[in-house]
Amino acid sequence: MEGRPAVDDAALGRASLAVLDANWTGVSTVPAPGVYPHQWSLDSAFVAIGLARHDAARAGQELLSLLAGQWRTGMIPHIVFHHAGGYFPGPSMWRSAEAPDAPLGTHTSGLTQPPLHAYAVWRVWRQAADRDLAARFVRLAWPSLVAQHKYLETRDAGGAGLAAIVHPWESGMDDSPAWDEPLAASQAGRCGDGYHDRYFRLAVLCRDHGYASSYYRDEHPFAVEDPLFNGIWLLSCDAMARLASEVVGADPEPFLEAAARIRAALLDRLWDGAFYARDVRAGRLVPVCTIGGFGPMLDPGLPRHVVEALTSLLESASFMGAAGYPVPSCDIRAQEFDRGQYWRGPSWISTNWLLAQAAAAHGLDRLSEILVASTLRLVRQGGFRECFDPFDGTGRGCRDFSWSAALTLDLLG
Ligand code: 2M8
């Protein structure tokens, strides 16, 4: 739809579906043609959410094909390679076939990504027209989701109930300024190379230690408690509780307890007037406000005064107040802000969508409406780009980006 903005909602919806159809490989959806030719975990969760109302069968297939790459530890890998080649680092770097816990016959990465999957399954369950199909799908996915949630508990490097990411790629916000300090302090960040070399070295460290949670907990130099990763985990714990009682006939209590534990730990460990990432190795918060700091707002149980403080920050000149096309991925007033650099400034459809959900969860209807309208304005004007300049809305990165199309579909309702 580049250069031919869709004039109305129906046309925009058709254009979204056309992108998702074009990016569907027959088993899953690639994030974007060419640049990301495999299956990414977080992207698949967003795609399933977008398809839930329109094609629940394909939404289910999308998630089940991702779950086929799950490791015996319960980890859902951040990339499932359905063929060789086309992306670096690929299977020859990750060497999942040599890892004892990786699935047989499927090449995957050795890292994970934010655990949005239970929430995505919940959305498919809520919105699918075919109720039998939806119930069958939930029951099929359930054991994998339970295993994933158990695995996340082994990532508690800080010992306080939060999951620590062990690589910036696990956050979904690759080059966010929140990782600059912990990365620079780590062994992998000490040489003066570009950030891709540092990221590569850090991934090799994970591989060479067998992707083992005990290594991550005790030795790995990069361990960070990210408010977005953990906010999404909390959201999915709530979804697990609802799926347990509504569909599976399991006890919801352990999931409600997990949500309460994460909520308390987020407030205790990451809150200091705003939410910050915590560098577990250095034992301190990373003092830069990014879009990730709004992750805990996804929790409907977040205390009122915290929601109010976050809303003021979001509406201030640091984020929405000074951006023509919100929401920038980093505080505009921070030294690290860069309007053109991926997760260091541009606005993203995914984080806008998450914030719109969060605002709605707290009854902030006006804020939610503004977020929805400004997000739709971005794609109407710039197309389904990977991200956007927060000041003039210029599209950046890939074109025909799947999660931008999928979440547009959801926002159109
Ligand atoms: C970006 O991450 C990958 C590495 O996983 C990359 O930069 O090559 C991130 O935006 C991530 O959130 C996303 O899942 C992935 C695919 O769209 O691209």
Establish whether this prediction's ipTM goes over 0.85. Answer: yes
Confidence at 306, pLDDT banded by 50, 70, 90: very high
- Burial per residue of 286-307, b for 16 or more beta-carbon CB atoms within 10 angstroms, e otherwise: bebbbbbbbbbbbbeebeeebb
Q: Tens of pLDDT along 284-295?
A: 999 999 999 999
pLDDT at 307: 98
**Is the separation of the CB atoms in 230 and 298 below 8 Å?**
no
Q: Which amino acid type is present at position 24?
A: W
DSSP state for residue 289 in the 8-state scheme: -
Q: Which atom of ligand 1 is nearest to the CA of 43?
A: 14
CA atoms of 408 and 18, how far apart (whole Å)? 12
Q: Is the pLDDT of residue 85 over 90?
A: no
CA atoms of 411 and 336, how far apart (whole Å)? 31
Taking the CA atoms of residue 124, residue 256, residue 369 and residue 394 in that order, the dihedral angle to the nearest 10 degrees is -70
Number of neighbours of residue 197 by Cβ within 10 angstroms: 13
- Burial per residue of 8-22, b for 16 or more beta-carbon CB atoms within 10 angstroms, e otherwise: eeeebbebbbebbee
Ligand 1 binding pocket mutation candidate from 30, 40, 47 (most atoms within 8 A of CB): 40
Instruction: Give the pair of three-digit tokens for residue 293.
Output: 């700091």
CA atoms of 55 and 65, how far apart (whole Å)? 16
Task: Provide the mean pLDDT of the chain.
Answer: 96
Instruction: Give the pair of three-digit tokens for residue 15.
Output: 């254009």
Instruction: Give the pair of three-digit tokens for residue 231.
Output: 């906010």
Ligand 1 binding pocket mutation candidate from 42, 44, 81, 399 (most atoms within 8 A of CB): 42
**Is the separation of the CB atoms in 238 and 255 below 8 Å?**
yes
Q: Tens of pLDDT along 371-405?
A: 999 999 999 999 999 999 999 999 999 999 999 99
What percent of the chain has pLDDT above 90? 93
Residue 98 designated active-site = no
Q: Which atom of ligand 1 is nearest to the CA of 109?
A: 5
Angular region, 211: left φ>0, alpha ψ -120 to 50, beta rest: left
Q: Is the pLDDT of residue 3 over 50?
A: no
Q: Is the pLDDT of residue 2 over 50?
A: no
Q: The sheet that has 107-108: what strands, in order across it?
A: 39-40, 79-81, 107-108
Domain 38-59+69-348, CATH 1.10.150.130 — does that match? no
Q: Is the pLDDT of residue 182 over 80?
A: yes
pLDDT at 1: 43
Residue 172 in contact with ligand 1 by CB distance below 6 A: yes
Residue 331 designated active-site = no
113 C-alpha to center of ligand 1: Å?
Answer: 10
Q: Where are the domains of the chain?
A: 38-59+69-348
